[in-house]
Amino acid sequence: MMEALRDLSPPPRLLMGPGPINIDPRVARALSMPMLGQFDPEFTRYMNDVMVLLRQLLRTENRWSLLVDGSARAGIEAILTSMITPGDRVLVPVFGRFGLLLCEIARRCRADVRFIETEWGTVFEPEQLEAAIRQHRPKIVAVVHGDTSTTMAQPLEELGAICRRYSAFLFVDATATVGGMDLRMDEWQIDALSAGLQKCLSGPPGSAPISFNDRVATLVLQRKHIEKGIEPEAFTPAEGEIIQSNYFDLPMLMDYWSESRLNHHTQATAMLYAARECLRIVLTEGLSACFKRHAAVSASLTAGLRAMGLELFGDQRHKMANVTGVVIPEGVDGDAVRHAMLEDFGIEIGSSFGPLHGRIWRIGTMGYNCRKQNVLICLAALEACLRRQGYAVKPGAAVDAALTEGFQ
Ligand SMILES: Cc1ncc(COP(=O)(O)O)c(C=O)c1O
């Protein structure tokens, strides 16, 4: 038999990296539900459910809370491509790889991109952000909430108000924090936000929840054009420059997700079921219970890591609740440890990018995987792999510390 015809049989893995993670079985079940036509009244009801649930998750009243088909960066691209008219100035505070991604996407939208940087492992003070906004006077500030590459979370509580003072829009990439850390879109005056399913929402990659307020809706509607084959008779295109992407055109997506249900792409049916289930799972647990669980499990993981004499990476005051950076100790081959974790224990942990490649491991405790058992299993496996590399650890210390310090 041809190699490519063999049965699909992925090995069982415990995904304790920075995402994707093992999906909740309820989401797997939703993914296997029967197809419906995209204008079937039951399906459009599911679309409306997603909008309602997404508003609750993001703590927003935004009418425009919907899904973009594609991985998390599809959400980022839809928002930035629709908001940025070529030549617009965009400021990106960069504190890791995903800030660089925002610069890169904004550049492809032909923005005049300005950025400020801070050492990876640190975040910005509100005063630094305000000074940069004052200096560059951007139309849009685009920032990551939790940058999984460094495991740091940028505090955002004050940034929205600062942006309003300088008449800038605030866009936040919350892919890695939604469902794991507190996020208040309206209270924090975030104008547009994008996320993904494959981290704290316990789903697979492939759907990007987004939300934006009326300020953003007004902005993008100034560029509203509708593709010829579906254009209503009386429609006059807006004065603004046409949005260069059809797929990521927010005004057309707004028509698709509103009562007019004007056909755009074919909604990824199974991903919509999955997204709806992800949202139901988090909201049924309750947002504050869910954040508490992420914080407690992370505390237990860090207690265990410290008990092995390992150093945590970055400014711990700003560590994400759902991903932990661990400095690879001197004399230990980081990749060999990761491979042993995978080969011998079936556990995946992450390495990192750029300046942090080979310097840190990243351990995720997110969504469905954010549980006591997984932390204990992961610590026990890591200890064994480290000892085989000649790193001296008191046997059992990590699990003991995680049990006694983390889970009271
Ligand atoms: C903060 C952040 N933004 C964006 C992305 C990109 O997501 P995707 O790979 O789903 O496009 C990731 C993925 O890890 C991320 O952590």
Question: Residue 175: CB within 6 Å of ligand 1?
Answer: yes
Question: Residue 75: CB within 6 Å of ligand 1?
Answer: no
Q: Please calculate the CA angle 302-304-307 and round it to the nearest 5 degrees.
A: 110
Question: Which DSSP helix (H) or strand (E) runs through 28?
Answer: helix 25-31
Confidence label for 374 from pLDDT (cuts 50, 70 and 90): very high
Task: Quickly count: other Cβ atoms within 10 Å of residue 260's Cβ.
Answer: 10
156-160, 363-367, 391-395 — which is least confidently predicted? 391-395
- Please confirm whether the linkage preceding 20 is cis (ω < 30° from 0): yes
pTM of the model: 0.97
Question: Residue 98: CB within 6 Å of ligand 1?
Answer: yes
| C-alpha–C-alpha distance, residues 84 and 196, integer Å | 21
Q: Please provide the average confidence, as pLDDT, over all residues in the chain.
A: 97
Query: Does residue 406 have a pLDDT over 80?
Result: no
Contacts with 21 (C-beta within 8 Å, 6 or more apart), sequence order? 15, 198, 199, 202, 364, 366, 367, 368, 369
Quote the DSSP letter at residue 326. Answer: E
Tell me the average pLDDT across 228-233: 91
Q: pLDDT tens for residues 322-338?
A: 999 999 999 999 999 99
Q: pLDDT tens for residues 235-294?
A: 999 999 999 999 999 999 999 999 999 999 999 999 999 999 999 999 999 999 999 999
Question: Residue 148: CB within 6 Å of ligand 1?
Answer: yes
**Per-residue model confidence (pLDDT) at position 281:** 98
| C-alpha–C-alpha distance, residues 259 and 85, integer Å | 27
Query: Does residue 407 have a pLDDT over 90?
Result: no
Question: Residue 19: CB within 6 Å of ligand 1?
Answer: yes
Q: In a mutational test of the pocket of ligand 1, which residue from 148, 320, 362 has the highest number of ligand atoms less than 8 Å from its CB?
A: 148
Give the closest residue (by CA) to ligand 1 atom 2: 175
**Per-residue model confidence (pLDDT) at position 70:** 98
| C-alpha–C-alpha distance, residues 234 and 255, integer Å | 15
Tell me the average pLDDT across 170-178: 98
Give the closest residue (by CA) to ligand 1 atom 8: 72
Give the Å distances, CA to CA, from 368 to 24, 84, 180, 324, 372. Answer: 6, 36, 11, 17, 11
- State percent of the chain over pLDDT 90: 97
Strands, E assignment, 139-248: 140-144, 146-147, 152-153, 169-173, 192-194, 207-212
CA dihedral 78, 53, 63, 263 (to 10 degrees): 60
Quote the DSSP letter at residue 150. Answer: T
- The CA 300 to ligand 1 mean position distance, Å, reads 25
The three-state secondary structure class of 154 is coil
> Token pair 């992961």 is at which residue?
378
User: What type of residue is 118?
Assistant: T
- The CA 318 to ligand 1 mean position distance, Å, reads 19
Could you write out the DSSP letters of every residue in 276-315? HHHHHHHHHH-HHHHHHHHHHHHHHHHHHHHHTTPPBPS-
Question: Residue 337: CB within 6 Å of ligand 1?
Answer: no
- The CA 229 to ligand 1 mean position distance, Å, reads 34
Q: In a mutational test of the pocket of ligand 1, which residue from 71, 95, 98, 154 has the highest number of ligand atoms less than 8 Å from its CB?
A: 98
**Per-residue model confidence (pLDDT) at position 1:** 84
Task: Quickly count: other Cβ atoms within 10 Å of residue 214's Cβ.
Answer: 13
Question: Residue 206: CB within 6 Å of ligand 1?
Answer: no
Q: pLDDT tens for residues 125-161?
A: 999 999 999 999 999 999 999 999 999 999 999 999 9
Residue 172: strand pairing partners: 143, 193
Q: In a mutational test of the pocket of ligand 1, which residue from 67, 69, 71, 73 has the highest number of ligand atoms less than 8 Å from its CB?
A: 73
Question: Residue 147: CB within 6 Å of ligand 1?
Answer: yes
Query: Does residue 408 have a pLDDT over 80?
Result: no
